[in-house]
Structure formats: structure tokens, C-alpha cells
Structure 1
Amino acid sequence: MITRYKFNKQDIKNIICIRQVWGQEVSSEETELYYYHIIDVLNRKWQTIGYNVSDAIRVFQNGCDDKWTYIIEQAPYNPDLTTNDLINMLSITSDASDTRNAIQIILNTVERRNAFVNRMVNVNEESTLVLLGAMQEQYLTYNQLSDKEFMKLYTANPVNALTVYFLEPVDIIAFWEWETAGGTCEKAIQYKLEKPLMTLIQAIERAEDETSLSFL
């Protein structure tokens, strides 16, 4: 059974027929399989098969299978790739606000955006969210914002600093809850040192508990 995340729901920029799969002799064109090369919307080159262009596109849309349909050339590094570029290329609608926010927050450098393109395989909503979650966990665990940079950002704009530090959406209300709970720049650093994957909600709850205990 093909799960939904396997489907390849992306635009195709170019498709060309390469050669016959088995080098058949002259026969009915409808029974001859051909290799096709596809350039997808992320500028990656794929190889797939089909009896004709329409069939090759259908096979491509069924997703990577490591035998007939797979990436043969990754997209070149794009130093100008923006989050809006990614959102448009992946056809993420305005209704998918969680996905749009995650792209803008987690992929907050051009290096991360290019890494996302390099790690993506099938393009669909489920695969996009799974990859974003994996990259968020990786960055929080191994590539956390330095303490010095976080403190600098916190002084200038605490809402933005917490967003970048926790890699999740933070608005002014969430910041007020954090501040009211006794949250500080130093506490955020301490919590993240002990538990890199801690969310802001968890941090607020811990700060509230510590504040309550201090009055006992």
C-alpha cells in the first residue's frame, strides 16, 4: 500500500525522453518503456520510466522507489534561496500556516534552506512536515544558537530571540506569559542546556513551578 507521504505532488519544469529501457526491437510504441529525465520545481534531476510522457509523469508522481524513480542529480546550491522561494516552489497555500511558519522559523539561513532542498525527496505536505521536524530537532540538539548571540538578540528583541532560540512561533502574548512566570534570558539558556528539545510552553511551566517554590 502506498502511503500519502510517498506521493510526489510538485510541478515539473522539464521532461525529456532518454532511451528505451530494454532496447526493444521495433514494436508497438504503446508497449515500449522509456527512461525519462525530469527537472522538478526544486531544480533536481530525476530518472523515471513510462510508455510516454504522460505515463512517465504519472510514475514520477507516485514517488521515489529507488529502482525506477529516483533523484540522479541534486539541485545546485542557491545562495539567493529565500523562505518565500521555498513556499512558492512547494505550492504551500496560505491555509497551511503551520507549514509556512515552520519553514520561515526553522530554515532561517540560506544554508539551512539549501540543506532542506538537498534532503527532501518526495514533495508533499506530510513529507515536508516530517523533514522540518527532523531538521528542527537536529538544529536544537546540535546547532543551537550560541549563548552570546541569544543574549544579544534577547536584549534587542526578546520575542524574536525566543523564536530563534526555541525554533517555534513566539508572539508577544507568549513572551508576556514567559516573563510573568519569571522567565529570563539566563533561565532560557539554563533550560536549553539541560533539555535542548524543551518547548517554550514547557519552559514557562518550569519557570512557574520555580517561582511558586520560591514563595514557600
Structure 2
Amino acid sequence: MTTKFRANEQAIKEIVCMRPVWTQEVESGEAELHYYHIMDALNRKWQTVGVNVSDVIEVFEKGHNDTWTRILEPAPFDPDLTDNNLINMLRIGPDAWHVRNAMQIILNSVVRRNAFVSRLVNVNREDICKLLCIMKNEYLLHNQLSDEAFMHMYGVNPVEALSIYFLESVDIHIHWEWRDAGGTSEKAIQYKKEVPFMTLNQAIERAEGERNACT
């Protein structure tokens, strides 16, 4: 059985029937199309249309469009929004561990998490991953951890420092690869200044190449 794609998989908290879409009276027995307001799990107010609640949900799940289904009010800034809160609101299950990890690493502050909510429109796996990728590149290019902060963090916890600096998942084994390749905090800074979107694996390969060239 084929599962129907839903552009909006967002959980709905509240549905309120509003005024009719058309001003003229409908014939007796004919279903009347109404505007509906929906409050989703991210606390955004949407407007959509339908003849009943089931119809409204089906229209809403087809996603945003400028004609019928759109966000009327964005979510208010939530100073207490944690990564776990956001993951649960978006209903990202344990099977999507790579998405969960990416959210925790890239959206590593309450400001970034709220920015993500304000920029996300339809809630589905593809759109979530696409926005995470866009925001990661923006942060790497325009909002990188300062050299001083990175070097201080690297001296205390190099695994965490590399994860935040490259905005990717880093464990002790990857850190050992980096260290054994001749990687240092200074080299990480140098590489990222030259190529802001360089991954840690690419940095390891470059460090290994430089080390081998010297032997």
C-alpha cells in the first residue's frame, strides 16, 4: 500500500471554524465552504478552508499555498525552547537519528531554534533537512565560532569544540583521526578560513596530505 505524501505532517492543536468563503447563499443541502483557523504544535496560526474538519485537515496536509493555506501569525519567540522540545513538536522519531543529531548540533542555542521555527513553513522530513542545511551553511559562513572561543574550547574539550566549529557530529574516534593526522586548533582555523564549508573529514584528509608531504 502506497503512503500518501503529506507536505504538512505537523500536529494540530486547535481548529476553529470562521466565516464562509463565499458571500452568496448556497443551495439547500449543499456543503458550505468555510475559512478555518488552525493552531499547530509550533504555536503558529494558519488559515485554510474546508467544508468540515476532516476536509480542513486534508487541505492543511497539502501544505502552504498563497491562495488557501497560509500562516497568519508566526510562532512567538520561546525563550525556553530546547532541542528536545523542538524535536518532539516536529514529531521526529528515533529512526531519524541523523536529523535529530543535526538539529542538536546546528540549532545549538535558543535563538537559533526560534529562528528555525520562524523560517520553517511546511513540516515534513525533506523541508526540515533542507532548512537545516541552509542554516548550517549560513552559520558557517557568517556566524562562525570566534577563533578565541574555539581555541579555548579546544583546550578544554576538543571533541565538543570540533563539533561546534564544523557543525557536525564528532566523537572521540574522529578526534583521534584528526589528531593523528596532525590536526590542531590552529590548522582547523586556517582550513575553515580558506574553505568555510570544509567538513572535518575533508580537513583530516588535507592534514594527512600535508603530513605525508613532509615525510
Assess, with a 3 A threshold, how the Cα gap between structure 1 residues 186 and 28 changes in structure 2: closer, same or farther: farther
Q: Whole-Å Cα distance in 1 between the matches of residues 29 and 179 of structure 2?
A: 70
1:143 corresponds in structure 2 to 143
Q: Which amino acid aligns with 1:35?
A: Y
Q: Which amino acid aligns with 1:157?
A: N
- Displacement, 1:25? 1.3
Assess, with a 3 A threshold, how the Cα gap between structure 1 residues 144 and 29 changes in structure 2: closer, same or farther: farther
Coordinate RMSD, CA, aligned: 1.3
Assess, with a 3 A threshold, how the Cα gap between structure 1 residues 45 and 29 changes in structure 2: closer, same or farther: farther
- Displacement, 1:65? 1.1
Q: Whole-Å Cα distance in 1 between the matches of residues 106 and 28 of structure 2?
A: 51
Secondary structure, counterpart of 2:141 in structure 1:
helix
1:119 corresponds in structure 2 to 119
Q: For residues 126-137 of structure 1, what are the structure 2 equivalents within 5 Å?
A: 126-137=126-137
User: Is residue 2:63 matched to residue 1:63?
Assistant: yes
Instruction: Return the TM-score normalized by structure 1.
Output: 0.95
- Displacement, 1:178? 0.2
User: Is residue 2:9 matched to residue 1:9?
Assistant: yes
2:100 corresponds in structure 1 to 100
- Displacement, 1:30? 4.4
- Displacement, 1:26? 4.8
Q: Which amino acid aligns with 1:181?
A: A
Secondary structure, counterpart of 1:27 in structure 2:
coil
- Displacement, 1:23? 1.7
Secondary structure, counterpart of 1:14 in structure 2:
strand
Q: Which amino acid aligns with 1:67?
A: T
User: Is residue 2:4 matched to residue 1:32?
Assistant: no
Secondary structure, counterpart of 1:22 in structure 2:
coil
Q: Whole-Å Cα distance in 2 between the matches of residues 29 and 186 of structure 1?
A: 75
Secondary structure, counterpart of 2:95 in structure 1:
coil
Instruction: Return the TM-score normalized by structure 2.
Output: 0.96
1:168 corresponds in structure 2 to 168
The answer (yes or no) to whether the contact 2:34–2:50 under 8 Å persists in 1 is yes
Work out the percentage of aligned pairs sharing the same amino acid.
61
Secondary structure, counterpart of 2:94 in structure 1:
coil
- Displacement, 1:24? 2.8
Secondary structure, counterpart of 1:134 in structure 2:
helix
Q: Which amino acid aligns with 2:121?
A: V
| Structure 1: segments with no counterpart, 5+ residues | none
Secondary structure, counterpart of 2:204 in structure 1:
helix
- Displacement, 1:66? 1.4
| Structure 2: segments with no counterpart, 5+ residues | none
Instruction: Identify which range, 78-87 or 6-15, moves more after superposition.
Output: 6-15
Assess, with a 3 A threshold, how the Cα gap between structure 1 residues 30 and 168 changes in structure 2: closer, same or farther: farther
- Displacement, 1:52? 1.0
- Displacement, 1:32? 1.3
Secondary structure, counterpart of 1:71 in structure 2:
strand
Q: Which amino acid aligns with 2:158?
A: P
1:83 corresponds in structure 2 to 83
User: Is residue 2:214 matched to residue 1:210?
Assistant: no
Q: Whole-Å Cα distance in 2 between the matches of residues 117 and 30 of structure 1?
A: 39
The answer (yes or no) to whether the contact 2:26–2:32 under 8 Å persists in 1 is no
Q: Whole-Å Cα distance in 1 between the matches of residues 204 and 118 of structure 2?
A: 35
Q: Whole-Å Cα distance in 1 between the matches of residues 24 and 35 of structure 2?
A: 13
The answer (yes or no) to whether the contact 1:24–1:32 under 8 Å persists in 2 is no
The answer (yes or no) to whether the contact 1:30–1:51 under 8 Å persists in 2 is no
